[in-house]
Amino acid sequence: MNSTEDATRLESAPPPSGDVALDVRDLRMRYGTKDVLTGVSFTAHRGEVLALLGPNGAGKTTTIEILEGFRMRSAGEVSVLGEDPAHGNEAWRARLGVVLQSWRDHGRWRVRELLGYLARFYVPFATADVSRPWDVDELIKVVGLTEQANSKVQTLSGGQRRRLDVAIGIVGRPELVFLDEPTAGFDPHARREFHDLVHRLADFENTTVLLTTHDLDEAEKLADRILVLDEGTIVANGSAEQLARELTTQAEVRWTSDGRRHVHAVVEQDPTSFVRELLEGDPGATELEVKRASLEDTYMTLVHRAETDQTTTDRAERLDRTGQTEEVQS
């Protein structure tokens, strides 16, 4: 399990199938006449932490539920740990961890009893490489619930419950863990503890993690790679720095000419050529300013558009405007 070696090999050549935990190709999902996923493709290699980032309604939950085997897809090829989740058997299920958002299930159970009960199901699925399940007391310690081990689940605080959810998700020592909006409703402290836990999983256990979030900050903190999902398709895929370059194609160029202030939004990747032409064509231009939108700005635009649910005409209008130069009051 040498992850650095894996990573370098992966970049140069297509990875051997044994190193790929997730392989999704042209995944499509349609409910009635509504297309929720319009062609999602990505891979994850073992030990990688992937964040599926996107505004509400982008299709994150649908994607993760298809991969978990809880939802049938309309089209596309999906391989999760080498198997199609639509036909995954119990042995396949034993290699997966699904962190569910608990609500009030098993409220009467005590923490240790519930984990001990669920752990039993994984015993027959231990292999020479992976000893299953976790030792329950050790796991309780890892998620920081030792003091609550004999408490009833319904007496736990929100943060403690989520840590129990994680413990339940990983009690079978999964090779791949799914987390859907794991920190929704967390206070900053609980969120931070949760982030530490995910890091520990990926670092010590070489577990592949796929999580969904609508919070860019969380994706940046947790993930090796971020996939931005928008309107049912992946619009960007890379590390946070790569995303900043890929996604933020817009830049604003401002300058003063003849005592008037001008602003021009550049749509194409690189504002340099616009600036060169500008300076060559207008020797009187001064106070030149080139400002590229930050990753956060770009993501916020995306979220805002999804929330206001703009029609295609609105979007076309916006695109029209970006090519024009406007005069602004200084």
Binding site for other proteins (CB under 8 A): 61-62, 64-65, 68, 70-71, 90-91, 93-94, 96, 98, 100-106, 108-109, 113, 117-118, 120-125, 168, 172, 180
Identity of the residue, 125 or 186, whose beta carbon is nearer to other proteins in the bound complex? 125
**In a 10 Å sphere around its CB, with 0-12 CB exposed, 13-18 middle and 19+ buried, how is residue 57 labelled?**
middle
**Shortest distance (Å) from residue 145 CB to other proteins:** 17
Identity of the residue, 54 or 172, whose beta carbon is nearer to other proteins in the bound complex? 172
**Shortest distance (Å) from residue 156 CB to other proteins:** 15
**Shortest distance (Å) from residue 172 CB to other proteins:** 7
Q: With DSSP H G I counted as helix, E B as strand and the rest as coil, what are the percentages for the chain, rounded to 5? A: 40, 25, 30
330: CB partners within 8 A, 6+ apart: 256, 260, 261
Three-state SS at 44: strand
Identity of the residue, 32 or 284, whose beta carbon is nearer to other proteins in the bound complex? 32
**Shortest distance (Å) from residue 312 CB to other proteins:** 27
**Shortest distance (Å) from residue 118 CB to other proteins:** 6
Q: Where are the alpha helices (DSSP H) in the chain?
A: 3-12, 60-68, 90-93, 111-120, 136-142, 158-170, 188-205, 216-222, 240-247, 272-281, 295-308, 312-322
Angle at 282 between CA 279 and CA 288, to 5 degrees: 50
Tally: H helices and E strands in the chain: 12, 13
Identity of the residue, 174 or 271, whose beta carbon is nearer to other proteins in the bound complex? 174
Identity of the residue, 6 or 68, whose beta carbon is nearer to other proteins in the bound complex? 68
258 phi/psi in degrees, rounded to 5: 55, 35
Identity of the residue, 11 or 103, whose beta carbon is nearer to other proteins in the bound complex? 103
Identity of the residue, 77 or 105, whose beta carbon is nearer to other proteins in the bound complex? 105
**Shortest distance (Å) from residue 198 CB to other proteins:** 18
**Shortest distance (Å) from residue 101 CB to other proteins:** 7
Q: Which residue is it, tokens 């919070």?
A: 215
Residues 125, 116: Cα–Cα separation, whole Å = 16
Identity of the residue, 114 or 219, whose beta carbon is nearer to other proteins in the bound complex? 114
162: CB partners within 8 A, 6+ apart: 101, 102, 182, 183, 186, 190, 194
Identity of the residue, 34 or 108, whose beta carbon is nearer to other proteins in the bound complex? 108
Please say whether the beta carbons of 84 and 78 come within 8 A: yes
Closest Cα partner for 252 from 329, 302, 322, 330?
322
Please say whether the beta carbons of 330 and 257 come within 8 A: no
